[in-house]
C-alpha cells in the first residue's frame, strides 16, 4: 500500500466535488496507470493493494471517489464496497467498480452492494474522465442536499425549543384561564347552576360564569370572544375581571347601595357598559357575543340580554322547549349599540340552557351543522334521560363529540351554562 502527494496540476472545474481519489487494485501496474491519469487531471491520489488496506485508509481519511477492482484476493471489490458503505461516514463518497463483468445480473449485484457506477476493463481515459465528471455532479447535488438537511435539522431543533417554551406558557395560560371558572356547579337555595367550558386548544375564547350578591339574587352568563388563540384568551381574562364572582367591587354588573349590599344591574345596562369600555379601548379589534341573565329566585322572574349570542333554550317542566331572545348586536362592534332586555318567568322544574355556537355550528358526519333544531332535540333527549346538573352538560358534550366529523375533532370552543329552577 502506498500514498501519493497532492497533484501540482490544478483541479478541473468539472471535478469540483471530487479532489481525493482512492485506487484499490492488487495490480501495481493498474494502479500506476490509473494514478498517472488522475494526477494529470489534478486529483490527490491514494492507493491500496487490498480491500483490507483500503478500509484502513478510508477510516482515517475518507476519499471523495473510490475506484476499486472487482476481483482481488482476500476481500473482493464487492465485499469492500459493502464494508465501505457500512462505515457510515458523514460525507458521501462516489464508488466506481472496475470489472470485466458486463452481465446484467453482475451489475445488479454491484448496485445492491452500494456501487454507484461501473467501468469495464480495459479502461478508456475519456470514458473514465466522463464518469468521474458525472460522479462529481451527483456529489455536488448530494452535498448541497446534505447541507440543506443540516440547516433544516438545526432550524427544527431551534423550533422544538421554541415550541416547548410556547407549549409550557400555554399550559400555564390554561391554568390561569381555568381559574376564571373556579366552580363548575353551585347551588342557590333549591336551584343550581352548572357550567361547561371545553376549549378546542390549550386556551380558548369562551367564558362562562355565575355570581350572587345575596340570597335569592343570581346572575349568570355565556360569552364567546371573536377569533381563537392567545388574543381571545386574553380578552376572556379581562372579561372575567369585569364579571368577577369574588370581587364584587370590580364587577360591572353590580352596584353598591347604601354601603350595605350589592345589587344586580339590569342586563341591558351591563351590556351597554361593557360595549362602551370595549369600544373606548384603542387598538382592540376583538368583539364578543354574550347572553347575560339575572333571576329573582323568589318568583322565577328572569331578565336577560342577548348580544349576538345563540338563542338560549328554555326547557319547560311540561316538556315544551322554546328559544328566547331577539338576537341583538355583538358587544364591541358599534359605539352606540342598543341592547334590548327579554323577560319571562320560570316555573318550578324549568331549565335554561345558554350555549356557544360551538354547539350549533358543529359539523356533523353528514356534512350538515347541528343547528338549533339539532341542539333542541339533543337537549330534550338528555332531559328525558333524567340528566341533571353537570351530568346533563357532560352528556350533551359527549353526544356532540360522537356526532361531529371527524369524531371528537373540535374546531371551535364549546361552552354552556345550565340553570335549573326548583322554586323559591
* 123 and 269 assigned to the same domain: no
**How many angstroms separate the CA atoms of 76 and 97, rounded?**
11
* 130 and 44 assigned to the same domain: yes
Evaluate whether residue 165 is within a structural domain. no
Tell me: the pLDDT tens digits for 341-367? 999 999 999 999 999 999 999 998 888
Average pLDDT over residues 109-121: 89
Higher pLDDT, 102 or 208: 208
Res 142: pLDDT: 87
Res 9: pLDDT: 40
Evaluate whether residue 36 is within a structural domain. yes
* 370 and 319 assigned to the same domain: yes
Q: Residue 225 pLDDT > 50, yes or no? A: yes
Q: Strands 94-99 and 321-323: what pairing? A: unpaired
Tell me: the pLDDT tens digits for 264-304? 999 999 999 999 999 888 777 789 999 999 999 999 999 99
**Are the CB atoms for 251 and 243 separated by under 8 Å?**
yes
* 94 and 243 assigned to the same domain: no
**Last residue of one domain, picked from the residues 129, 148, 167:** 148
Q: What residue numbers bound the domain in which 324 lies?
A: 180-420
Least confident of 131-145, 162-176, 249-263: 162-176
Tell me: the pLDDT tens digits for 307-336? 999 999 999 999 999 999 988 999 998 888
**Last residue of one domain, picked from the residues 96, 130, 148:** 148
**Are the CB atoms for 194 and 389 separated by under 8 Å?**
yes
Q: Residue 83 pLDDT > 50, yes or no? A: yes
Tell me: the pLDDT tens digits for 48-64? 999 999 999 999 889 99
pLDDT band at 12 (very low <50, low <70, confident <90, very high): low
Res 165: pLDDT: 84
pLDDT band at 229 (very low <50, low <70, confident <90, very high): confident
* 120 and 237 assigned to the same domain: no
Res 8: pLDDT: 38
**Last residue of one domain, picked from the residues 148, 167, 194:** 148
CA nearest to 247, candidates 262, 235, 260, 230 = 262
Q: Residue 408 pLDDT > 80, yes or no? A: no
* 88 and 185 assigned to the same domain: no
* 112 and 205 assigned to the same domain: no
* CATH number of residue 293's parent domain: 3.60.40.10
Q: Residue 202 pLDDT > 90, yes or no? A: no
**Are the CB atoms for 392 and 194 separated by under 8 Å?**
yes
Res 1: pLDDT: 40
* 196 and 238 assigned to the same domain: yes
Evaluate whether residue 172 is within a structural domain. no
Average pLDDT over residues 92-114: 84
Res 323: pLDDT: 97
Q: Residue 7 pLDDT > 70, yes or no? A: no
* Radius of gyration, CA atoms only, the chain: 39
* CATH number of residue 64's parent domain: 3.40.50.2300
* 98 and 184 assigned to the same domain: no
Average pLDDT, the chain: 89
Tell me: the pLDDT tens digits for 135-154? 999 988 888 888 898 899 99
**3-state secondary structure labels for all residues of the chain:** CCECCCCCCCCCHHHCCCCEEEEECCCHHHHHHHHHHHHHCCCEEEEECCHHHHHHHHHHCCCCEEEEECCCCCCCHHHHHHHHHHCCCCCCCEEEEEECCCCHHHHHHHHHHCCCEEEECCCCHHHHHHHHHHHHHHHHHHHHHHHHHHHHHHHHHHHHHHHHHHHHHHHHHHHHHHHCCCCCEEEECCEEEEEEEECCCCCCCEEEEEEEEECCEEEEEEEEECCCCHHHHHHHHHHHHHCCCCCHHHCCCEEEECCCEEEECCHHHHHHHHHHHHHHCCCCCCCEEEEEEEEECCCCEEEEEEEECCCCEEECCCCCEEECCCCCCCECCCCCCCCCEEEEECCCCCEEEEECHHHHCCEECCCCECHHHHHHHHHHHHHHCCCCHHHHHHHHHHHHHHHECCCCCCCCCEEEEEEECCCC
Domain count of the chain? 2
Amino acid at each position: 500500500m502506498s500514498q501519493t502527494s497532492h497533484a501540482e496540476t490544478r483541479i478541473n472545474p468539472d471535478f469540483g466535488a471530487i479532489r481525493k481519489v482512492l485506487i484499490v487494485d492488487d495490480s501495481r501496474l493498474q494502479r500506476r496507470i490509473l494514478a498517472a491519469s488522475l494526477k494529470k487531471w489534478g486529483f490527490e491520489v491514494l492507493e491500496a493493494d487490498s480491500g483490507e488496506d483500503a478500509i484502513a485508509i478510508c477510516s482515517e481519511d475518507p476519499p471523495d471517489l473510490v475506484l476499486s477492482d472487482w476481483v482481488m484476493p482476500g476481500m473482493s471489490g464487492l465485499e469492500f464496497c459493502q464494508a465501505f458503505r457500512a462505515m457510515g461516514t458523514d460525507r458521501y463518497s462516489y464508488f466506481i467498480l472496475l470489472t470485466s463483468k458486463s452481465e446484467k445480473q453482475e451489475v445488479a449485484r454491484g448496485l445492491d452492494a452500494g456501487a454507484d457506477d461501473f467501468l469495464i476493463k480495459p479502461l478508456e481515459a475519456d470514458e473514465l474522465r466522463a464518469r468521474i465528471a458525472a460522479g462529481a455532479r451527483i456529489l455536488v447535488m448530494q452535498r448541497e442536499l446534505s447541507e440543506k438537511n443540516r440547516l433544516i435539522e438545526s432550524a427544527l431543533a431551534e423550533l422544538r425549543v421554541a415550541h416547548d417554551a410556547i407549549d409550557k406558557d400555554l399550559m400555564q395560560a390554561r391554568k390561569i384561564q381555568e381559574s376564571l371558572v373556579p366552580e363548575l356547579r353551585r347551588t342557590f337555595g333549591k336551584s343550581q347552576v352548572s357550567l361547561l367550558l371545553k376549549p378546542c386548544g390549550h386556551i380558548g375564547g369562551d367564558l362562562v360564569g355565575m355570581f350572587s350578591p345575596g340570597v335569592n339574587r343570581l346572575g349568570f352568563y355565556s360569552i364567546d370572544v371573536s377569533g381563537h388563540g392567545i388574543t381571545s384568551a386574553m380578552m376572556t381574562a379581562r372579561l372575567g375581571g369585569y364579571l368577577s364572582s369574588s370581587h364584587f367591587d370590580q364587577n360591572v354588573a353590580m352596584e353598591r347601595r347604601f354601603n350595605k349590599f350589592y345589587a344586580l344591574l339590569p342586563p341591558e345596562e351591563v351590556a351597554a357598559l361593557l360595549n362602551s369600555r370595549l369600544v373606548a379601548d384603542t387598538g382592540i379589534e376583538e368583539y364578543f357575543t354574550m347572553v347575560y341573565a339575572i333571576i329573582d329566585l323568589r318568583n322565577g322572574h328572569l331578565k336577560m340580554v342577548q348580544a349576538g349570542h345563540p338563542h338560549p333554550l328554555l326547557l319547560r317542566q311540561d316538556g315544551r322547549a322554546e328559544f328566547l331572545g331577539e338576537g341583538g348586536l355583538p358587544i364591541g362592534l358599534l359605539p352606540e349599540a342598543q341592547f334590548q332586555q327579554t323577560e319571562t318567568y320560570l316555573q318550578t322544574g324549568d331549565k335554561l340552557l345558554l350555549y356557544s355556537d360551538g354547539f350549533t355550528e358543529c359539523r356533523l358526519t353528514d356534512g350538515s351543522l347541528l343547528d338549533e333544531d339539532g341542539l333542541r332535540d339533543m337537549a330534550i333527549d338528555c332531559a328525558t334521560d333524567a340528566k341533571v346538573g353537570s351530568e346533563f352538560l357532560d352528556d350533551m358534550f359527549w353526544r356532540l363529540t360522537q356526532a361531529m366529523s371527524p369524531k371528537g375533532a373540535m374546531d371551535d370552543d364549546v361552552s354552556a351554562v345550565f340553570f335549573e329552577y326548583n322554586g323559591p
